[in-house]
Amino acid sequence: MSNFVNHIRPRQVPGRVLSVFYTFCLGGLSFLAFIILGITGLLLMFHYLPGENTGFSSVLTLGSVLPYGGLLRNLHYWSAQIMVVTVNLHMLRVVWTHSYKPPRQLNWLVGVGLLILVLVLDFTGFLLVGSQESGAAATVAVNILKLIPGLGPGLAQIFLGRPSALSGSTLAVYVWHCVGLPFAALFLQFYHFWRIRRDGGVRPL
Ligand code: HEM
């Protein structure tokens, strides 16, 4: 445990790893967006009601009736879009500087896991809006999952519940979006940060 803490919060950081023009701080900006998403998401949970009939109306009430509700929703939405952009740019930077090569190959795979989690979080967030578009998107997702032989229908039920074609908002999507996926992403991010130092810092050796 002390080893983990030492890596997350080191006493000394070599000056060479602080060069902004090497990383453009894209990983750090992704993490900042993640923190803003966590805080605004938690506040949104106080008012959002998942469900075919309640999802969309609670989003509308949130944006128009609740004081600062529109600001809260916009902060959450735009932080999510910014995170998708910064994570992709961060991955491009890693490719550009060949940082996916040994000894960082495992952290590259952790990064791929994070990219998938961020995209699925963005998608499930869109489903939670509960609009007709989100209902159509949920229907497409259910049909894709059902294509997996044998396991498909069960997986669709576990991950998406039973969304209607008119609203993608279900309790299953809500729990994945607010609990399962964010905590999985949080855990992977701390492992990602720990590995950066274990692999010798951000610069190629
Ligand atoms: C939630 C998403 C992510 C966060 C918060 C994150 C965060 C970070 C941070 C803070 C760094 C230190 C250097 C920098 O800021 O660029 C870093 C390095 C690294 N990241 Fe990520 N990252 C994420 C996603 C990814 C993805 C999608 C990949 C690739 C598939 C990836 C692969 C790597 C690798 C290989 C390094 C080491 C780079 C080097 O040594 O130069 N990360 N990450």
CATH code of the domain containing 99:
1.20.810.10
Mean model confidence pLDDT for the chain:
94
Beta bridge partners, 164, equal: 167
State phi, psi for 166 to the nearest 5 degrees: -100, -10
Q: Is 76 in the pocket of ligand 1 (CB under 6 A)?
A: no
pLDDT the model gives residue 13: 77
Share of the chain above pLDDT 70, in %: 98
Interval 42-89: pLDDT, tens: 999 999 999 999 999 999 999 899 999 999 999 999 999 999 999 999
Can you give the residue range of the structural domain that contains 178? 22-198
Q: Is 118 in the pocket of ligand 1 (CB under 6 A)?
A: yes
Count: domains in the chain: 1
In Å, what is the CA distance from 176 to each residue of 31, 66, 117, 179? Answer: 20, 25, 11, 6
> E-assigned strands of the chain?
none
Interval 112-141: pLDDT, tens: 999 999 999 999 999 999 999 999 999 999
pLDDT the model gives residue 174: 98
Mutate to test the pocket of ligand 1, among 84, 90, 99, 193 (most ligand atoms within 8 A of CB): 90
Which atom of ligand 1 approaches the CA of 31 most closely?
Answer: 5
Q: Ligand 1: which residue has its CA nearest to atom 9?
A: 27
* Structural domain includes residue 87: yes
Q: How far apart are CA 161 and CA 176, in angstroms?
A: 11
In sequence order, which residues have a C-beta less than 8 Å from that of residue 149 and are 6 or more positions away? Answer: none
Task: Flag whether pLDDT at 205 surpasses 60.
Answer: no
Share of the chain above pLDDT 90, in %: 84
* Structural domain includes residue 205: no
Which range, 4-8, 20-24, 82-86, is most confident?
82-86
Q: Is 40 in the pocket of ligand 1 (CB under 6 A)?
A: no
* Structural domain includes residue 151: yes
Q: Is 30 in the pocket of ligand 1 (CB under 6 A)?
A: yes
